Structure 1
C-alpha cells in the first residue's frame, strides 16, 4: 500500500527504492519461514503423514494443510463440531424481539484461518464430490452464494478432522 501510494504521489526515488527493497526483504522472509515450516513438518513423520492425508482432500493445498496441522495439533479437539466452533463456522440466528433475523456464522475464531478456508471451500465446491453434493442440496433449499460457501467451509473442516482422526486418505462419500 505504501509503495502504491508513493508511486501515485510526488515521492522521491530514494523512498520508492527503499520501499521496494523492504518488499523484497519481506517476501524473502516469508519464503524462508515457509521453508522452515515445511522442513519442520517433513522432519516429523506423524506431521508429514497428516499433511499428506489433508492434501488428499480436493481443495486442500499447501496453505490450508499447514493451517489445519497447526490447529489440529495445537488444540485438543474431541470432535469436528468443536473444531468448527473454534473456527467460528457454527450457524447462529440473529434475532431480537419482533425482529426475526438472519442465520449467520458466529465468526468467533481466528479470521485469518477463515479467510484461507474460504478460498479452499470455493475450490472444493468445484472439485470435491461431497461438497458439490452439499452445494446442490443447499441450492435446492434456496440458499445463496456466501451461505453455501460458509457451509462448504464447515464441511471441509469436518472432512479434514475426519481424515486426520481416522488416518485414512479422503474418499468421497457422495455417489
Structure 2
C-alpha cells in the first residue's frame, strides 16, 4: 500500500488552507485600513487661534456615572477653558476623542470653607430647597447646602472645587484661525 499520494493530498490541502487564512487576514487588514479615520490634508487641527466646538461630560470617580454633559465652543489659546483641557486638546482634529483627568489644582481649586455664607430665609427665592443652585442679589452663583426656619447656608464654591474629575471630550468641529 502506497501512502505517498495521501500524504501529498494532505500537504496540498494544508497549503490551500494556509493560503486561504493568509488571504482572509490580508482582507481584514485592508478593510481595517480603509475604515480608519482619515485626516484630510486641509482638515483643521486644534492650534493657536482655532475655534473649537466640542462635546464633553464630567464624571467624578466614586459618584454617579455622568454628572454633567454639554457642548461648548472656545478659541484655542484664549484661556476660555481649563488650561489642562486646552493643553490636552492641542493637535486634535474633528472626530478625535480624549479623556482628561483633572486634579483639584488644575480644575476649580481646593474647597474653601470661607466661601460659605449664612443668609436669612426671607432672602431666598420661594420654593427653594437644599441642593438648588441660585443666584444672589450680587449675581454670584451658590448652592444652598442647608435650610432652616430662619436661614440657609449658601456655598459659593464651584461644585467641583476640591474634587478630582474626569472629562470625556469629543472634538466636533475645528475652524482654522483667520
The normalised TM-score by structure 1 is: 0.28
Higher-RCO chain (CA-CA 8 Å, sequence separation at least 6): 2
Higher Cα Rg, which structure:
2
- Which structure carries more helix by proportion? 1
